[in-house]
Amino acid sequence: MDSTNKNEIDQIFKNLQHYIMGESSEPYSDKVMTYAYDPVNIGEINNPDGEGLVKGDCGDSIIIYLKVKKDKIDKACFLVDGCGASVASGCAVTELAKGKTPYEASKMTPQEVIRFLDGMPASHVHCVVMAVQALQKALNHLNNSHNS
């Protein structure tokens, strides 16, 4: 392959990545890219114990569903309408929440999620914040539904 073809292929890949991941001048970590292209915990939970929806200023939205068994988060899933960074953030938050008590999960911070993802470009930190906020709403819904 000559250098012209390689440059064209590199440009196509870069354009595709920008389309899927959103614009960023900083590189995404391998973990963010893996979750964006091969997500985990995608889906709904029928009759969830907790459910939280957040719509970001960027136009993305995420909803997190929780199922609790024996005072631990047994299942955490999400649906997202957004870029690859939002998908990766939803994956990370649900992975980190599973196995924790609701109280432990309520202490999750965006910084913890960013560390779990091995970083997130500053231009997409709002995606992480949105996912953590959705978890907090799901936990609040969980507390409200258990107190009713």
**Tens digits of pLDDT across the chain (148 residues):** 566 677 777 666 565 565 556 666 678 899 999 999 999 999 999 999 999 999 998 899 999 999 999 999 999 999 999 999 999 999 999 999 999 999 999 999 999 999 999 999 999 999 999 999 999 999 999 877 654 4
Number of C-alpha atoms within 13 angstroms, CB side, residue 52?
25
The answer to whether the beta carbons of residues 142 and 101 sit under 8 Å apart is no
* Overall number of domains in the chain: 1
CATH classification of the domain holding 94: 3.90.1010.10
- Give the strand pairing for 61-69 and 72-81: antiparallel
Q: Which domain holds residue 87?
A: 3-147
